[in-house]
């Protein structure tokens, strides 16, 4: 239940796998290192098809209690989406929207809905509690809530002024 990349290329918290040369003859269109790409291949056997799921977006907001990620995943079931934590601080949301079955008798007039795999990764801040993550999906929106550690209040010690 996650989705496409809309993030700022310079966002230090986003770990989207983006190849600006994808589709060019010298780019990594296949996701292999033999294509002369400047970028490594996709992890776990994912190909550059991961980027074809183009209709989904993720918002990340921070509240006093948690980091909240909201992802648009219209038409997907919760079984088609994975929410994982890698290396203790990398939130990964991935999944797949399958192509609709074609019947030989069908005549398509327009195909605009995307299909394919998607993968989004976010580096969680130090104050996140990844072991307490909760995910919820309703009406095509995945909400992932990552609780935060309570801010430590500074110790204030009163000192008597003599005089």
Q: What is the pLDDT of residues 97-119, one digit of tens each?
A: 887 777 888 888 887 777 788 88
Which of 40, 79, 83 is CA-nearest to residue 58? 83
Render pLDDT for 54-88 as a digit per residue (tens, 0 to 9): 445 799 999 999 999 999 988 889 899 999 999 98
Q: How far is CA 131 from the centre of its chain?
A: 18
**Cβ-Cβ contacts under 8 Å for 141 (sequence gap 6 or more):** 70, 71, 72, 73
- Structure-model confidence comparison of residues 26 and 73, the more confident one: 73
pLDDT at 44: 47
Which span out of 49-53, 144-148, 152-156 was modeled with the highest average pLDDT?
144-148
Average pLDDT in the 121-140 region? Answer: 94
């Amino acid at each position: 239940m996650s989705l496409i990349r809309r993030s700022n290329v310079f966002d230090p918290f986003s770990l989207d796998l983006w190849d600006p040369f994808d589709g060019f003859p010298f780019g990594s269109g296949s996701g292999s290192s033999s294509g002369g790409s400047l970028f490594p291949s996709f992890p776990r056997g994912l190909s550059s098809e991961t980027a074809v799921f183009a209709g989904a977006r993720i918002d990340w907001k921070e509240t006093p209690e948690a980091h909240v990620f909201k992802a648009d995943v219209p038409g997907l079931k919760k079984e088609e989406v994975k929410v994982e934590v890698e290396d203790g601080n990398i939130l990964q949301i991935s999944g797949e929207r399958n192509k609709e079955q074609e019947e030989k008798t069908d005549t398509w007039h327009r195909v605009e809905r995307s299909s394919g795999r998607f993968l989004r990764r976010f580096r969680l801040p130090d104050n996140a509690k990844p072991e307490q993550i909760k995910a919820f999906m309703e009406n095509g929106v995945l909400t992932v809530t990552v609780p935060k550690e309570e801010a430590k209040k500074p110790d204030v010690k009163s000192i008597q002024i003599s005089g």
